Every structure is written in C-alpha cells, then in structure tokens.
Structure 1
Amino acid sequence: MQALPETLSIAQEIQLSVAPVFMLTAIAALLTLLFNRMSQTQDQIRVLGERPEGEATAAEPDKAASRLLAARLSGIRWAIRCNVTAAILICSVVVSIFISDYLVPDLSNLIAALFIAAMTLLAAGFLLLLRDVSRP
C-alpha cells in the first residue's frame, strides 16, 4: 500500500526540519553555558562590591577589576543576545519549511537567508564566548 502524497510531503518536511532542530539543542546548551558564566561574573562583581573598606589594599585595583568584570558581563550578554536571536531565526526556518509547502510555493530564498543569518549570529556568539574565555 502506497502512502498518500500529503503524507510523503509532511514526512519530507519533517526530514528537512530535523537538522535545524538539532541546532536548537546545541544553542540551548550554549545558552546554559553562557548563563552560568554570566551568573559567575555577577557573583564576582557582587563580592568585589561588598568588600569592607579596611580589607581592600588599594581602590585602583578594585576599579580596574570592576571595569574588567563589567566588560566581561557586557560581552556575555551580547553573546546571549546573538544566540537567542539565532534560535529564533532557526525556529523561523522550520516554520518556513512547512509554510512553503502549503501556502507559498517557493520560500527557498527566505529559508536560505534566515539560515545564513542564524549561522552568522551563532558564529558571533561563539566569537564573543572565545573572547570571554581568552580574557585573564
């Protein structure tokens, strides 16, 4: 017995959407790592700000450390933004794959553009993470 053409079409769409869904899983793991790094950095900032006056040896090193941690926190936040936006674009790719078969005949250019944008943002997020782990 042969499968209905609509069933074959849905099966093909699901096959096309599997790779982007795996990417979403990878992005989720990366976001977990970034949120952990952000939490650790925020804890370091909090500890630095809670030092009693007599405990600090000099105010200048504390200011320098605070600036470094603030810059680090900013970079981590940008990495999170890049990765969340990439995840949203990947979701848009999956939706576009299904829509292209039922509503609009050819969305291949849109799908390609969304995927390229998602990969670019994912690469930017990785570069920001690399920058963060390369700091002293």
Structure 2
Amino acid sequence: MIPTLPGVATVAQTITLALSPIFMLTAIGQLLNVLTGRLSRVVDRVRDLERLHPHTTGPEHDRHVWELRLLDRRISIINASLFLAVSSAVMTAFVVASLFVATLAKLHFASAVAVAFILAMLLLIASLVSFMIEVRVSLRAIHVRKDLLS
C-alpha cells in the first residue's frame, strides 16, 4: 500500500489553524523588543550611577544607593519577564510545528497541542504581569523628589 500525502486542502486548513499562533509569535516579538529596550535603558542608568557613586556623600549618596537597588530589582524583573516571553514563544513555535507534524503524519495528539498552547498563553500572561510589575517599580524612581518641590 502506497502512503498518501495530505491534500492541498488539508495543508491549507493546517496553515489556517497555525495563523493564530503565528500572530501570537509576532506579538511576543514586539513584547521582547519593548523589554530589551527597557533593560537597555536601565543598564545605561546603572552605569551612570556607578560612575557617580564613588564621588558622592551624604543624602546624594544615599539617593544613588536607593536608586541602584531599585534598578537592580528592575533588572531582575525584566529578566524574568524576558525568560517567560521567550518560553512562551518557544511553546507557541512548538504548537505550530506540532500542528503540521500531526497533519502530515496523520497523528492524533490534539490534547497535547492544546496543552502546549495553554502553557504558551500562561507563560505569556506571566510575562505580561512581570512587565506590569516592572513598570510599577519604575514609577517609584520617576516621581519628583519632595526636597526639590519645596
């Protein structure tokens, strides 16, 4: 018996099914772009403060130390968010590949594909929550100091 290949309609249907995860990959790519941009700005600010740190004393020194601690926390949160977003992208790519493998090999593991997609979504949600936390943490450094307002 000669194995039959899936028809064009079957492949077209699989491509249609894979479009949603592909759009999700595009969105994750944009999120990664935003996160790496924020990380870059935080690292630049850390480098600036590290240059100033040895030359400061008193309240100014304390303010620099406080900001360095805050920036260190932001770096950790952004790194966690980046890890979660990349993990989500990997799971999403796995979903797309699995859809095609299942179609071409006529395998029936829809449950595994669904679980992988759910995991990808949960990872993306966790990344977005981390991003939201980082934004909230960053706002603490942006407020104008009270001593400058009086």
The TM-score with structure 1 as length reference comes to 0.91
- Which of residues 67, 70, 85 is equivalent to 1:68? 70
Unaligned ranges ≥5, structure 1: none
Give the letter aligned to residue 7 of structure 2: E
1:25 aligns with 2:30: no
Unaligned ranges ≥5, structure 2: 141-150
1:49 aligns with 2:50: yes
Pair member with larger Rg = 2
Give RMSD over aligned pairs: 1.7
The farther-off stretch of 64-73 and 49-58 is 49-58
- Which of residues 103, 106, 125 is equivalent to 2:127? 125
- Which of residues 100, 103, 107 is equivalent to 1:101? 103
Give the letter aligned to residue 35 of structure 1: T
Report the Cα offset of residue 56 of structure 1: 4.6
What corresponds to 1:12 in structure 2?
13
Distance in 1 (CA, whole Å) between partners of 2:106 and 2:62 is 62
Give the letter aligned to residue 69 of structure 1: L
Q: Deviations over 1:66-85 (max 9, x none)?
A: 11110100000000000001
In the alignment of these two chains, the number of paired residues is 133
The TM-score with structure 2 as length reference comes to 0.83
Distance in 1 (CA, whole Å) between partners of 2:45 and 2:53 is 15
Relative to structure 1, is the Cα distance of residues 118 and 44 closer, same or farther in structure 2, using a 3 angstrom cutoff? same
Could you tell me the percent identity over the aligned residues? Answer: 32
Q: Deviations over 1:17-67 (max 9, x none)?
A: 011000010000010000000001101111110016444544332222111
Asked if the contact 2:6/2:103 (under 8 Å) is kept, the reply is: no
Give the letter aligned to residue 75 of structure 2: L
1:89 aligns with 2:86: no
